[in-house]
Amino acid sequence: MLDKKNIKDLGFDELEIYIKENRLPRFRAAQVFEWIYKDAASFREMTNLPKNLIEQLEGDFYIGRAYIAAMQHSKTDNTRKYLICFEDGNAVECVLMDYSYGKTLCISTQFGCRMSCEFCASTTGGLIRSMTSGEMLEEVMAVSRDIGERIGNIVLMGTGEPFDNYDQVMKFIRTINHPKGLNIGQRHITLSTSGIVPRIYDFADEKLQCTLAISLHAADDEARSRIMPVNRKYNIEKLMEACRYYINMTNKRITFEYALIKDVNDSIKDAHKLGTLLKGMLCHVNLIPVNKVEGKNFLKASKEKINSFKTALEGFGIETTVRRELGSEIDAACGQLRQKHISRQ
């Protein structure tokens, strides 16, 4: 298999090029693509393809399929957390959340992460490698296969920094959005970044309809640099400039993620700093009660502090919500299930 490529790593345009180079009718690309995202397990299942094309595909490609190594199912809210393993033995987590508007899957974009955010379990052990677009697609397909249902919403907020794997993430979005593929609308895709400023400009220029979420977590450079090392390279002023450029280019609202950590960033003073920073911007703030992570000393802010923080932000005219806590009893913090898997190897 080492001399073959995972066909799921090909975008539709790349598959068309392959078909053209092999002097086959153009419509064959659409047929193959549709079979892939109907979840065909082998090329032999593609019954409307000629035998010579099936044999050629078998010689050049394989159909990448991951397997579910572990699954934790919340008894309280139907959240499912998956550990998904790939051909080379690497594993990632994804989380399926059940909302009134449908199923939402939070996927990973890298095996590990090099952002080193202090409160995140995903950074333990650093970055192994980035995922391919096909591997990200297979996260979605593996979970859909398991539940026997279509997944309608995707968030790229699991292990890894999506903008540290920019090209593959863009290919993933375009492939999953393709009408002959899984056909998940861009408006149903949310991408989160810790603040890699040059890529925010690039993403703005893509003019996609996805939602951009910024993991902010502090409103001044001293506090943010302490818990998010990326801020030492791209400070808040540079980050806000990039966010304003994104809004101007897309006319889309940005979501700012803010994990409330007890005695770190949860005071009324912190809320006022955040409100002053974001006042007048086309944005929404999502307050996140931080999950407890083994080996880290960060604790969740109290409900009283969370509510006071929310009220203070709303006083600045900023739409603010508190993220519903899902799957709190199933290693809900990003990276924890994967770390248990790694420690057993």
Domain count, the chain: 2
Average pLDDT of the residues of the chain: 92
Residue 328's pLDDT is what? 58
- Please pick, among 106, 113, 283, 334, the residue that the annotation labels catalytic: 334
> Is residue 85 domain-shared with residue 16, that is, in the same domain?
no
> Is residue 184 domain-shared with residue 46, that is, in the same domain?
no
Residue 123's pLDDT is what? 73
Could you give the CA distance from residue 158 to residue 289 in angstroms, rounded to a whole number? 16
Residue 333's pLDDT is what? 47
> Is residue 154 domain-shared with residue 266, that is, in the same domain?
yes
> Is residue 339 domain-shared with residue 212, that is, in the same domain?
yes
Domain assignment of residue 101, given as a range: 67-344
3 state SS of 214: strand
> Is residue 260 domain-shared with residue 127, that is, in the same domain?
yes
The CATH number of residue 303's host domain is 3.20.20.70
Could you give the CA distance from residue 101 to residue 103 in angstroms, rounded to a whole number? 7
Q: Confirm whether 118 is a catalytic residue.
A: no
The CATH number of residue 50's host domain is 1.10.150.530
> Is residue 135 domain-shared with residue 263, that is, in the same domain?
yes
Contact indicator for 12, 178 with CB cutoff of 8 Å: yes
pTM for the model stands at 0.93
Tell me which of 62, 85, 100 is where a domain ends: 62
3 state SS of 65: coil
- Please pick, among 45, 85, 93, 329, the residue that the annotation labels catalytic: 93
Q: Confirm whether 283 is a catalytic residue.
A: no
Could you give the CA distance from residue 240 to residue 340 in angstroms, rounded to a whole number? 37
Residue 331's pLDDT is what? 57
> Is residue 191 domain-shared with residue 263, that is, in the same domain?
yes
Query: Which tens digits make up the pLDDT trace of 215-234?
Result: 999 999 999 999 999 999 99
> Is residue 74 domain-shared with residue 212, that is, in the same domain?
yes
> Is residue 54 domain-shared with residue 84, that is, in the same domain?
no
User: In the sheet that 80-85 helps form, which strands lie side by side, from edge to edge?
Assistant: 67-73, 80-85, 91-99, 102-107, 153-156, 189-193, 211-215, 254-260, 283-289, 319-322
Could you give the CA distance from residue 318 to residue 109 in angstroms, rounded to a whole number? 30
Query: Which tens digits make up the pLDDT trace of 53-87?
Result: 999 999 999 999 999 999 999 888 889 999 999 99
Terminal Cα-to-Cα distance of the chain (whole angstroms): 24
Size of the chain in residues: 345
Query: Which tens digits make up the pLDDT trace of 109-132?
Result: 999 999 999 888 777 789 999 999
- Ranges under pLDDT 50 in the chain: 333, 342-343
